[in-house]
Structure 1
Amino acid sequence: MRAPASPLLIDGHLDLAWNAAQGRDLTLSLGTLRAGDPLKGETATVTFGELRAAGTRVCFGTLFALPRSPESPHGYADHAGARAQALAQLEQYRHWEDAGQVRVLRGGAEVAAHLASPGPGSPLGVVLLMEGADPVRDADDLPFWVGAGVRVIGPAWGRTRYAGGTDAPGPLTAEGRELVTAMRDLGVTLDASHLDDAAFWEAAELGPRLIATHANSRARVPGNRHLSDEMARAVAAAGGVIGLVFLSSFVRPGWSVGQPRARLADLAAHAAHYAGVVGWAHVGLGTDLDGGFGREKAPAGIGRYRDVGRLLTHLPPGAREGVAGGNWARWLTTLF
């Protein structure tokens, strides 16, 4: 089945620079990248060519610093290490921008102008998103990152100096409350995707702009990585959008490698659940298709990024354009 054409696709979450840091050259064709891929066991799906083929005009591109763990012994152990990773990735986006591959978008007017001038050679619009705030020294350091183009920050990934996160329950720390307050005052949007419940509700009460770039429904897959219905309502009440994640273990509860991949119909059920809670206007894409997993863990029918549009055939016709990109476009051009 051929993926349906989409006039506009916006992805709420891609780890482009992180992949480049692992040795992937996203300017190559997908076949060439796969033939020499340095990341084994996760078949690549994302390149700039694939994004163009899918009709992707804008994405939220991360600055993601990987913390040290038994599985990642070369990750960061302190703020300086996290900052070094984020700065290197920031430089990668600048390199791509100089080469005409991307255009970093710093506000709603720039997004609107970018969307109004599509063309076959047009660069990918990128909104810079920091996933996990450990690269930020403290609240006083936030203006530096804003000046560098960062417009969205998720305070947590797992636990950080700022907040409890995925599989790491806990509230905002004192530093976290200061950071979220500074984000609110500087107009930096908070990405709630990885926040633990306690940290989420503390952050929401402080009143920053609020979205969830990549988070499926906890009603369908248990765990603090996903949004409860109450969290989804809070994001929607702030005018935000929630991006759907294309990872089988986030789509079907109990899924593990070796089982048949989750179905796109299962992912569409997450979308329909959110729509029943907050309405279709708050549902978008946040595929995370290059976020530490490959084709093997993507839903069945997703063999490469250009297949993303296949999800739309499982949604009500009236919702497809909004989920594909229209809802993110509205948020980006009116609330960003």
Structure 2
Amino acid sequence: MSPPLLPLVDAHLDLAHNVITNGMDLTLRLEKLRRQRKGSDLPTVSLPALREAGTALAFATLFAEPYHPEHNPAGYRTPDEAHERAWNQLELYRRWQDEGLVRLVSDRAGLETHLNTWEEDGVPGLMVLMEGADPIRTPDELGFWADAGVRLVGPAWGGTRYAGGSWGNTGGLTKLGRELMAALQNEPRVSLDASHLSERSFWDAVELYDGPLLASHSNSRRFVNSERHLTDEMIRAIGERGGVIGTVLYNAFLVEGWQRGDPRPGLEVVTSNMEHVAGLIGWQSVGIGSDFDGGFGARETPEPIDKPADLRLLEQLLPAGTFPGVLGGNWINWLRSWLP
């Protein structure tokens, strides 16, 4: 009898967005899904693939993409539209739970029950993360989303009504954003996700909010100099809060200047990023936030990773004793430290 798999935790997957917006059927096996998606980014994730990989938990996003006249003319234009789209995604996760495909996790007792049950049945757990806070129509609506099961909120993607983001508006928190920090400060069920915050908004948020903090899917700016990534000072600030940072498995976020069509780098670009973060704040603060399905595919990930199970190959390159934590244990410990 083979030993049980160590739990894999992926802190960032855009599952519902890819079903509702991009038309993917994530209930299919990955091979069949890929045959259906010829000519597009080669899919890396499906629910069966997560189960086969031993995924104990994923942070599953509510991601409403904003309007852009060229890149996304169908995006939301108003807070009401953003709210509706996020709610539709949440309802999809609930349907999957009703069908026995996933289990939604929203508190510490539920996490422990899920982990024990997962060891027996392998059903992946989902914790809901809102990426870009525009679906929260006003800051006093945070409690509504917390009641609905949202446990992690990232105020930005690009710039939002709340904060400067990775591109476009890279300014600081807006007046609404400062009000959202106050709401988060008083809502113990929800943690702040720093990923996608502009550097100015990050420091504004750290000044105003002293609750649990993570970066679900962010890499070090040492390797790719972009507002999308974290400076050493930002990394240290997250570590000082006891937070965890999830490494993104996108080549352009790991190798400066990498473009689609370039040769795929090897796994060492992933572990180099992890080692840099660990050197600043310790291995207990390093995790995975693959963003596998976030606008890129298997041809844009480091060789030979092209599906969730391949994340276990990182064990070959990580320092002895660090792999169980990086694979999932660090995220689990972090959740245990603050979930009500």
Match of 1:117 in 2: 117
State whether structure 2 residue 185 is matched by structure 1 residue 201: no
**d(CA) in 2 for partners of 1:258 and 1:150?**
37
1:162 CA drift (Å):
0.1
What whole-Å deviation, never above 9, does each CA across 1:159-197 have from its counterpart, x for those lacking one?
000000002311000100101110121121000010011
**d(CA) in 2 for partners of 1:100 and 1:122?**
11
1:208 CA drift (Å):
2.8
**d(CA) in 1 for partners of 2:265 and 2:97?**
36
* Closer, same or farther: CA 5–289 of 1 in aligned 2, 3 Å: farther
Aligned to 1:315, the other structure's residue is in SS state coil
1:310 CA drift (Å):
1.3
Q: Which amino acid aligns with 2:41?
A: E
State whether structure 2 residue 58 is matched by structure 1 residue 59: yes
Match of 2:313 in 1: 310
**d(CA) in 2 for partners of 1:285 and 1:43?**
20
Match of 2:136 in 1: 136
* Closer, same or farther: CA 299–104 of 1 in aligned 2, 3 Å: same
Contact 1:284 1:327 in 2 (8 A): yes
* Closer, same or farther: CA 5–193 of 1 in aligned 2, 3 Å: farther
Show structure 1 runs of 4+ deviating over 6 A. none
Instruction: Tell me the TM-score normalized by structure 1.
Output: 0.96
**d(CA) in 2 for partners of 1:244 and 1:139?**
29
Q: Which amino acid aligns with 2:191?
A: T
Q: Which amino acid aligns with 1:287?
A: S
1:220 CA drift (Å):
1.4
Q: Which amino acid aligns with 1:173?
A: T
Contact 1:60 1:126 in 2 (8 A): yes
Instruction: Tell me the TM-score normalized by structure 2.
Output: 0.95
Q: Which amino acid aligns with 2:333?
A: R
Match of 2:173 in 1: 172
Match of 2:288 in 1: 285
Q: Which amino acid aligns with 1:282?
A: S
State whether structure 2 residue 258 is matched by structure 1 residue 258: no
Match of 1:229 in 2: 232
Match of 1:190 in 2: 192
Match of 2:333 in 1: 330
Aligned to 1:113, the other structure's residue is in SS state helix
Matches within 5 A, 1:147-162: 147-162=147-162
Stretch moving more, 55-64 or 312-321: 312-321
Q: Which amino acid aligns with 1:241?
A: V
**d(CA) in 1 for partners of 2:9 and 2:123?**
13
Pick the aligned partner of 2:215 from 212, 216, 240: 212
Aligned to 2:172, the other structure's residue is in SS state strand
Contact 2:193 2:214 in 1 (8 A): yes
What whole-Å deviation, never above 9, does each CA across 1:126-154 have from its counterpart, x for those lacking one?
11000000000111111110111001000
Aligned to 2:118, the other structure's residue is in SS state coil
Q: Which amino acid aligns with 1:223?
A: S
What whole-Å deviation, never above 9, does each CA across 1:21-70 have from its counterpart, x for those lacking one?
12111111111111223x84200110111111211100100000011111
Q: Which amino acid aligns with 2:148?
A: A
What whole-Å deviation, never above 9, does each CA across 1:215-250 have from its counterpart, x for those lacking one?
000111111111111111111111110000000000
Aligned to 2:87, the other structure's residue is in SS state helix
Contact 1:6 1:324 in 2 (8 A): no
Stretch moving more, 303-312 or 223-232: 303-312
Aligned to 1:218, the other structure's residue is in SS state coil
* Identical counterparts, % of pairs: 46
Aligned to 2:130, the other structure's residue is in SS state strand
Stretch moving more, 140-149 or 109-118: 109-118
1:84 CA drift (Å):
1.6
1:6 CA drift (Å):
4.5
What whole-Å deviation, never above 9, does each CA across 1:277-336 have from its counterpart, x for those lacking one?
001000000000011111111111012222121122111121111100010010111223
Count residues in correspondence.
Answer: 332
Match of 2:49 in 1: 50
Pick the aligned partner of 1:247 from 246, 250, 253: 250
Contact 1:189 1:209 in 2 (8 A): yes
Aligned to 2:322, the other structure's residue is in SS state helix
Contact 2:54 2:122 in 1 (8 A): no
Aligned to 2:171, the other structure's residue is in SS state strand
Match of 1:94 in 2: 94
Aligned to 1:129, the other structure's residue is in SS state strand
Contact 2:118 2:124 in 1 (8 A): no
Match of 2:298 in 1: 295
Contact 1:263 1:299 in 2 (8 A): yes
**d(CA) in 2 for partners of 1:304 and 1:326?**
20
Match of 2:85 in 1: 85
Match of 1:268 in 2: 271
**d(CA) in 1 for partners of 2:111 and 2:261?**
41
